[in-house]
Chain A
Amino acid sequence: SQTIHQWPATLVQPVGSPLSLECTVEGTSNPNLYWYRQAAGRGLQLLFYSVGIGQISSEVPQNLSASRPQDRQFILSSKKLLLSDSGFYLCAWSANWGRDGYTFGSGTRLTVV
């Protein structure tokens, strides 16, 4: 069966420090991968998506970047965190071009101090 792992679960980082959040998927190949940010009381905002190794599309200009070094690995990064980067980050994967819906990771709560 397919599973998705996301870590760390929580992270407290100082302003200006780098960031690396990792997401891996098991039990499937060539998934579509997504990074979302979930704000309290708001919906999910799509940050990046990837349809294959090395293929990254950015949805909103920001201080973050994403990479997909392997088929089932998706990484969210920043060189220098800002206070406004605080939030809850979700990784998700889909098959069949999203027609089956998404499977989400458990999320990372990032607090920039």
Chain B
Amino acid sequence: AQRVTQPEKLLSVFKGAPVELKCNYSYSGSPELFWYVQYSRQRLQLLLRHISRESIKGFTADLNKGETSFHLKKPFAQEEDSAMYYCALSGITNAGKSTFGDGTTLTVKP
């Protein structure tokens, strides 16, 4: 079984402060991990994939297989980063089905 845990429902930081959204997973195979973001009144959209090792909008996430974590980080938060963030795990051996965490609402205060 695959499971994704986002321990923080709410996270609030000040503009310019570093931010880290935590994600832990449980999966017996080799995981594909993703972060999705949902801005106010917009559709849920892909933010980044671990396999790409990319930085999107200043966010990065590193897969730590030892700690089974995929935390999302940004060194300097901006007000426009305020949104709901979901961590998701997909297994290519099961039709690409993704399991999502419960999400973290990030608020960046001015």
Contact = CB atoms under 8 A, between A and B. Distances in A.
A30 to B, nearest CB: 12
Given A42-B102, A43-B101, A90 B44 contact: yes
A53 interface: no
Interface size grouping (class) on chain A:
20 to 34
Nearest to B10: A41
Interface in B53-110: 86, 88, 90-92, 95-103
A59 to B, nearest CB: 8
Interface in A78-100: 90, 94, 96-100
Contact of B97 (A43, A49, A104): A49
A15 interface: no
Interface residues of B, number: 25
B106 to A, nearest CB: 14
Nearest to B93: A97
B86 A44 contact: yes
Contacts of B86: 43-44
A43 B100 contact: yes
8 contacts: A46-B98, A94-B96, A97-B95, A97-B96, A98-B95, A98-B96, A101-B90, A102-B98
Interface of B: 4, 9, 32, 34, 36, 43-46, 49, 51, 86, 88, 90-92, 95-103
